[in-house]
Structure 1
Amino acid sequence: MGFLDLHHRDAPLILPDAWDHASAVVLLRAGFPAIGTTSLGVAAARGVPDAGGAAREATRSLAASSRRLPCPISVDIEDGY
């Protein structure tokens, strides 16, 4: 099922936020049909402030590793990087 299709079901789409690859896998195994990422969660997990690009590489890494998951991913690309 595609990401668009998930928005057009009888039940609302609940999109949990992962902060690293392991949390994304746990959320997928818990039954969520799609996973989001969170700039705040990625930054906090690394001990850096949110905003300003401090977690840029970590977010890119999370987006790249999440592509292998068998579900749609929505990436919070703070500031559009």
Structure 2
Amino acid sequence: MNKRQIKDKAPSKYIKEFDKHNKELNKAMESHLIGDLKTFGVLDDDYDTFYNRRLEKFSEELKRRLVIQDYDVVFKHEDREEDN
């Protein structure tokens, strides 16, 4: 997929064309954090659904990759002690 092929077409139009030429399209979409094209609103040009579902995917991926630590709590406590 590239912007020359997409131009100003609606997602429902260009994604069907790409699907004809790429039988691994769903796998490619997953690698871009886009799940099922129907439930993500792509096939219906539902931009709000797409935005919200993709945001959920980004959040899930960040949670999976990040190591959450309590540094903020430690630093705030140390700052208070230094002020005294």
TM-score of the superposed pair, with normalisation by structure 1: 0.30
Q: Which of the two has greater helix per residue?
A: 2
Q: Which of the two has greater strand per residue?
A: 1
Structure whose alpha-carbon radius of gyration is higher: 2
Higher relative contact order (CA 8 A, sep 6+): 1
